[in-house]
Amino acid sequence: MVDDGSGVSRLATVNSCPGFCGRQATTSSSGNHLCCLLECVLSALLSLLLMPPRGTPILYSCTKNSLRDWYPVFYNPVVNHTHILRCTQEIVFPLYSLPFIYLAFCLICLIIFRSILHITVLKKNCITTDPYYASLFTIPLIALFHALFAGLLYYSFGYVALICSLGLNTLHMALEREKSMRKLYFDMIQKPRNLFILIIHMALFGFSILTLTLNRVTASGTLISLFAILLVPLPSLFYLLTVGITDPEHVHSPF
């Protein structure tokens, strides 16, 4: 009990116990991450089982030739230059419809599992529900973005992933604020958190290169894809070799 100056004793808030607040934050973070993983995995499985052939993890798909295949609604035939014959189908099946089904399941699972989590496990914790409501708004926005820009995203995804992997890898290493190549190397290798993030960035870099080269079915295209795997550590090695002529403080100051 504490006295706030009014002469009335009140219960102490959780802010007076940093250790307790830390345990609450850890429990909330772990619970939300596990719940999010469950929602995504379950939504993916249900989406695959719902698509034909139903009940199996196998998907039937159509070949893709160009960007216009993603927007057949703009290429309806016009009969006698007067009547539009609306007979378009999903040419890129199931790449256009499957994400909508997946996002719908994500929204349903989010409402069910996240609500149960907050009602049971996090009921007595002073934890904000902002991430929960943010997800409720974000999923429909992702669906809208997919409806409008699915084709553009499909053909530019490799380049976007490549740029993001390079930028995030550089930012991560710059935030260590080390100008010594040796110290930065050991910081990246010896700290589990840094090593995990570094592996994720390398995997994203390798995946982006493979997406840009695997569409070539020729022997030379296969060799390029295999050679791309050897380039995965290149961005990190380049930063290590040039860290002596950079100034990470300029990157660290805004953060």
Q: For residue range 46-78, what is the model confidence (pLDDT) as tens digits?
A: 999 999 888 888 888 888 888 888 888 887 777
Measured at the CA of 29, the angle between CA 28 and CA 30, to 5 degrees, comes to 95
Element (H, E) at 68: none
Higher pLDDT among residues 194 and 255, named by residue: 194
Would you say 229 and 214 are in contact if contact means Cβ atoms under 8 Å apart? Answer: no
**Domain boundary assignment for the chain:** 155-255
Write down the pLDDT at residue 250. 61
pTM confidence score: 0.73
